[in-house]
Amino acid sequence: MKHEARRPVPEPNVEKTMVKTRAETRVESSVESRVKSRVKKRSSAEKIMAYLVANPTATAHELSIVVNLTVKGIEWNLKALTESGRLRHVGPTKGGHWEVLI
């Protein structure tokens, strides 16, 4: 039995387009949702700071209604803002006020 040399099959002359696999699509959508959520958190922090400039004695419950976040989400943002030095609470927990530093 003789071995015949195989000739390479010529490729069709068609422009190659990049086809995304399911995994690539999932990764892109995952990254996109992470970016959107981070942008949302920043805008929530900015909303909180803007509201506290006008109402320094606002409570977490009041902020949750205005910013449309849960009270826990407001507390998380307030903690992040105070730790970053952009916000400071002056006075006792009940009866104190917020100072926006930056």
Q: Comparing 8 with 45, which gets the higher pLDDT?
A: 45
pLDDT higher than 90, residue 102: no
Which CATH number is associated with domain 23-100? 1.10.10.10
Whether this prediction's pTM lies above 0.85 is answered by no
Query: Element (H or E) spanning 60, and its range?
Result: helix 60-67
Residue 23's pLDDT band, with cuts at 50, 70 and 90, is confident
| Cβ partners under 8 Å of residue 99, min gap 6 | 56, 87, 88, 89, 90
pLDDT in tens, 48-96: 999 999 999 999 999 999 999 999 999 999 999 999 999 999 999 888 9
